[in-house]
């Protein structure tokens, strides 16, 4: 089977690619207009491309149009599961269109290696996106490979981001880190001291 693998970043590519490439012809597509700001998008992209080049992995980069992401999540900005589903739907829709245009049979995504992502949301968005383009969505669950992905990406010295990608996730991750810091210090968090306005 010819599989177009949507990749969110270099560290998440490692294990899913190796597993899929053992059984399929795999090409990678970087389609992530959710990532903010541009410098972060470029850093993740370049980390991915550097690894792909070293391994001889064929990779396509789709145009960065953050305005498409803004439109996709419009009205859902504060609603995390709904926002994330719209985000997955957009990115996997881009990958599905690209797969169909290139004559691929199926789409898979590296998003399912992360224990921090919602597997059901990813799969339902992926199935919807692929059905619209007439390609198959390959349901995967690579989460058991996450420790190996972390270990390998550290060994390779890859850039490892500490938030999912969009500007809201950057705020949410910073809030979570602050809460953990306060908890570690044995103090209760002060609401007025939180990052979000
Ligand atoms: S948290 Fe991640 S999956 Fe959810 S909307 Fe933001 S970038 Fe997309």
Can you give the CATH number for the domain in which 114 is found?
Answer: 3.40.50.620
Written as tens digits, the pLDDT of the chain (197 aa) is: 999 999 999 999 999 999 999 999 999 999 999 999 999 999 999 999 999 999 999 999 999 999 999 999 999 988 889 999 999 999 999 999 999 999 999 999 999 999 999 999 999 999 999 999 999 999 999 999 999 999 999 999 999 999 999 999 999 999 999 999 999 998 765 555 443 33
Taking CA atoms only, the protein residue closest to ligand 1 atom 4 is 84
Per-residue pLDDT, 58:
98
- pLDDT at residue 191, rounded to an integer: 57
Q: How far apart are the CA of 138 and the centre of ligand 1, in A?
A: 21
**pLDDT tens readout for residues 116-164:** 999 999 999 999 999 999 999 999 999 999 999 999 999 999 999 999 9
Question: Whole-angstrom Cα distance, residue 108 to residue 130?
Answer: 10
Whether residues 47 and 131 share a domain: the answer is: yes
Same domain, 7 and 79: yes
Taking CB atoms and a 6 Å cutoff, what residues make up the pocket around ligand 1? 34, 83-84, 87, 164-166, 168-169
How much of the chain exceeds pLDDT 70, in percent? 94
Q: Residues 50, 70: one domain?
A: yes
Task: State in Å: Cα 55 to ligand 1 middle.
Answer: 28
- Indicate whether 149 and 175 sit together in one domain: no
Q: Tell me: do 110 and 68 sit in the same domain.
A: yes
Residue 190 domain boundaries: 167-197
Separation of first and last alpha carbons in the chain: 48
Considering the domain architecture, whether residues 74 and 140 belong to the same structural domain is answered as yes
Q: Show the 3-state SS of 44-75.
A: HHHHHHHHHHHHCCCEEECCCCHHHHHHHCCC
Q: How many domains does the chain have?
A: 2
157 and 195 assigned to the same domain = no
What's the CA gap between 100 and 135, in Å, rounded?
Answer: 6
User: CA–CA separation, 162 vs 101, rounded Å?
Assistant: 34
Same domain, 155 and 179: no
Closest atom of ligand 1 relative to the 111 alpha carbon: 3
Report pTM: 0.92
**One domain for residues 133 and 92:** yes
Q: For position 80, what pLDDT does the model report?
A: 84
pLDDT at 196: 38
Which DSSP string corresponds to 80-123?
Answer: HHHHHHHHHHHHHHHHHHHHHHTT-SEEEEGGGG-TTS-HHHHH
Kindly state whether residues 31 and 60 are assigned to the same domain: yes
DSSP 8-class letter at 35: -
Q: Give the residue, out of 91, 116, 166, with the most ligand 1 atoms within 8 A of its beta carbon, to mutate for a pocket test.
A: 166
Of 8, 69, 84, best ligand 1 pocket probe by most atoms within 8 Å of the beta carbon: 84
* 16 lies in the same domain as 71: yes
Same domain, 127 and 192: no
């Amino acid at each position: 089977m010819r599989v177009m693998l949507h990749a969110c970043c270099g560290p998440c590519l490692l294990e899913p690619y190796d597993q899929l490439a053992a059984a399929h012809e795999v090409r990678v597509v970087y389609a992530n207009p959710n990532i903010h700001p541009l410098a972060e998008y470029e850093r993740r992209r370049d980390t991915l491309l550097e690894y792909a080049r070293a391994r001889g992995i064929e990779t396509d980069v789709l145009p960065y149009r953050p305005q498409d992401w803004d439109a996709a999540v419009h009205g859902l900005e504060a609603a995390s599961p709904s926002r994330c589903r719209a985000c997955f739907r957009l990115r996997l829709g881009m990958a599905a269109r690209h797969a169909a245009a290139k004559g691929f049979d199926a789409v898979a995504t590296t998003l399912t290696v992360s224990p921090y992502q919602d597997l059901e949301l990813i799969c339902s968005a992926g199935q919807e996106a692929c059905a619209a383009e007439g390609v198959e969505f390959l349901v995967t669950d690579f989460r058991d490979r996450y420790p190996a992905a972390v270990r390998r990406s550290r060994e390779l010295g890859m850039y490892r981001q500490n938030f999912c990608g969009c500007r809201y996730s950057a705020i949410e991750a910073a809030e979570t880190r602050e809460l953990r810091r306060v908890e570690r210090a044995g103090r209760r968090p002060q609401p007025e001291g939180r990052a979000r306005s």
